[in-house]
Structure 1
Amino acid sequence: MTSLKILPADFPEPTLVRVNGVELEVFEAGRENAGGAVVLCHGWPEHAFSWRLQMSALAAAGYHVIVPNQRGYGNSSRPAAVTDYDIAHLTGDLVALLDHHGYEDATFIGHDWGANVVWGLALLHPDRVNRVINLSLPYLERGEKPWVEFLEDLLGGDSHLVHFNRQPGVADAVFDANTSRFLRNLFRKNEPPREPQPGMAFIELAHAETPLGDPVMSEDELAVFVSAFETSGFTGSLNWYRNLDRNWHLLADVDPVVHQPALMVYGDRDVIARSANLAEFVPGVEVTSLDAGHWIQQEKPDELNQAILEWLGRARRS
């Protein structure tokens, strides 16, 4: 199978769409395939461009592919209030995007924090989601403790999930001051194993002189991410994390079961732990894994596209 490559110059031109009180920068492929919408939701610290290697494959298979830079990212709106990035706002943006395009429902594909939003969307707006495909981040059970406290007990205060909440503004400043180095050091694959280091890993990464492993993308591709974050800064995207406890409260009275058919794709080399009880909360889930790290759709685009299209094809026929 030939490895895919999409040059930045070949990426679709965006449209600014006003939805849910914000403007979203939206990229599309396969507009002629109206009727079968697939919405791709990026993670952190990413960009709609991270789906460049999936868009044309999905469009060629007959889908209308809609890829927003979600609020806080790229040229989309960056509200000042932290609470404007909670799960109600993030899922509300996606529902309003469906309304804008005239769709009752769509298939949603998420990666990393985008997967978290898609899980939340399936719970909060189940009638707008016909199928779920999520990469890297499995469904997170809402336990007895608010998530930040739970994660602090589990992972300690140096976990980025805790640090972003307990020390707001600290990581933002470091990432803003070292944007190119941070992203270059972060988007890596085939990293050699190493002992855990003291300190918050992402801050250490932003200061590291030498990246480990191999680059996930070319210099031209990386430049898209660097340019976007040099313009937007990191605070809006980090505010997604700062709503973990608010989201925990917002989901208190919501049915915790995802009833839609779902495909969960893990990377065998990803540091994110697999769910031990995924089928309990996502009973219609099929699980697969690829020989990849965290950046699955960019590391293994051919294999991922094949897995997605085969699963969607079976779902279409059933």
Structure 2
Amino acid sequence: MTALPDIPLPTGIRSRYVENINGLRMHVLEAGFETRGRPCVLLLHGFPELAFSWRKVMPTLAAAGYHVIAPDQRGYGRTTGWDADYDGDLASFRLTNLVRDALGLVSAFGYKSVDAVIGHDFGSSVAAWCALIRPDVFRSVVMMSAPFGGPPSLPFNTVDAPAKSAADDPIHRELAALPRPRKHYQWYYSTREANNDMHDAPQGVHDFLRAYYHHKSADWKDNQPYPLKSWSAGEIAKLPTYYVMELDKDMAATVAKEMPSAGEIAANKWLPDSDLAFYSAEYARTGFQGALQWYRCGTSGAFLAELQTWSGRTIDVRSAFISGKQDWGTYQRPGVYEAMQSKVCTDLIGCHLIDGAGHWVQQEQASEVSWSLVQFLRGAKAS
């Protein structure tokens, strides 16, 4: 393997590799490794991020007495052993196998359980499924920026009235038929073209990611989210274009319109260009397809039946939700944020919406997120 450049990490975090994790050679960032016998917390990143997204949180959790491990997940960064081919093994990216990745990593480090699994964005979904499937191992969970609506339901009471197929959601036709035609980003991310659109973006990967991160952050002043009424074209078309895109534009073109000025970039303290350069170099090297496979697993419906195995199950371990107050991700799927609080999580101690943060909450407002996580881990109620 060609030597990769060093990662610009804060003091106290090291980079290492762990072999034979469910077929992967997993790249992991680690803090609090100096002394043995510490309780462990597992941090799971989302898209388009890496373990690096936790760099500001890890030292605080380590200082609070925890062994903190944060992997580049399957499909991302310096973790290898996954298939980057659009026509490759999609099943390896399904949620239950991502849970198996997390279990394997925890076990490799010599833990029978962890005090908490903490996930952001798509990592929030993996963390939720970890807690749902193996509450004996993942003894608490914090979901960040993506609320969890519970496992998909089995068709119920259909003996005399067969269930309608969910395979053909009319919302896509309805979005395309709007006066301002639109499409949903998750289905766009599932297309064959999406990886090349971003990897070969006219503005380059670095400027693509700069605009993408800016557009979904609190720095973009039009991010003023509120609950939507229903999963209908007219309602979800109220979402910004990074979620419900213009029908004729790809994601690179979508975010290019919102590229921050040179002055705004220079003033950005939460993601200076030196940090963004690490993200952009990694994605320029790997492409985006491994990450996009996660979306395809969901939009294809191919693994719905497997997830229905847990139909009706709740998350019963101690849980919390953290998001940016300026993050539309909290509301992007109408009703999920409310369902998480009312019926999915039976021991949800709080939902903390942090002002001054959009979607990249642990990077935009690292101090407040770190404080909230330590309070959660110590048993205090996040408020």
- TM-score, normalised relative to structure 1: 0.88
The one-letter amino acid paired with 1:175 is M
Match of 1:3 in 2: none
1:210 matches 2:223: no
Match of 1:251 in 2: 307
Q: Which whole-Å deviations, capped at 9, do the CAs of 1:270-295 have from their partners, x for residues lacking one?
A: 01234112120001112111011000
Q: How does 1:104-183 map to 2 (within 5 A)?
A: 104-106=112-114, 107-141=116-150, 142=152, 146=166, 149=169, 152=172, 158-165=183-190, 168-178=191-201, 179-183=205-209
1:314 matches 2:379: yes
Q: Distance in 2 between matches of 1:114 and 1:186?
A: 18
The one-letter amino acid paired with 1:259 is D
On the 8 A contact 1:8/1:220 being kept in 2, the answer is no
Compute the displacement of 1:127 (Å): 1.8
Match of 1:261 in 2: 318
Closer/same/farther in 2, CA of residues 42 and 147 from structure 1, 3 Å limit: farther
Identity %: 27
Match of 1:74 in 2: 77
Q: Distance in 1 between matches of 2:117 and 2:149?
A: 17
Q: Distance in 1 between matches of 2:167 and 2:30?
A: 34
Q: Which whole-Å deviations, capped at 9, do the CAs of 1:179-199 have from their partners, x for residues lacking one?
A: 212111012232032885523
- TM-score, normalised relative to structure 2: 0.74
Q: Which has the larger radius of gyration?
A: 2
Q: Distance in 2 between matches of 1:148 and 1:47?
A: 33
On the 8 A contact 2:14/2:29 being kept in 1, the answer is yes
Which runs of 5 or more structure 1 residues have no equivalent in the other structure? 1-5
Q: Distance in 1 between matches of 2:209 and 2:280?
A: 7
1:287 matches 2:341: no
On the 8 A contact 2:327/2:359 being kept in 1, the answer is yes
Closer/same/farther in 2, CA of residues 153 and 287 from structure 1, 3 Å limit: farther
Q: Distance in 2 between matches of 1:193 and 1:248?
A: 35
Closer/same/farther in 2, CA of residues 187 and 87 from structure 1, 3 Å limit: same
Q: For 1:90, which of 82, 87, 98 is the aligned residue?
A: 98
On the 8 A contact 2:38/2:65 being kept in 1, the answer is no
Aligned residues: 309
* More deviation, 296-305/275-284: 275-284
Compute the displacement of 1:9 (Å): 6.8
Compute the displacement of 1:170 (Å): 1.1
The one-letter amino acid paired with 1:125 is R
1:271 matches 2:271: no
The one-letter amino acid paired with 1:46 is E
Match of 2:233 in 1: none
Match of 2:50 in 1: 47
On the 8 A contact 2:31/2:59 being kept in 1, the answer is yes
The one-letter amino acid paired with 2:275 is E
Q: Distance in 2 between matches of 1:22 and 1:282?
A: 31
Closer/same/farther in 2, CA of residues 147 and 19 from structure 1, 3 Å limit: farther
Q: Distance in 2 between matches of 1:155 and 1:129?
A: 39
Query: What's the secondary structure of 1:72's corresponding residue?
Result: coil
1:191 matches 2:253: no
**Root mean square deviation, CA, Å:** 2.6
Closer/same/farther in 2, CA of residues 262 and 153 from structure 1, 3 Å limit: farther
Compute the displacement of 1:24 (Å): 0.9
Which runs of 5 or more structure 2 residues have no equivalent in the other structure? 1-6, 156-164, 177-181, 224-237, 332-336
Q: Distance in 2 between matches of 1:155 and 1:256?
A: 32
Q: Greater helix percent: which structure? A: 1
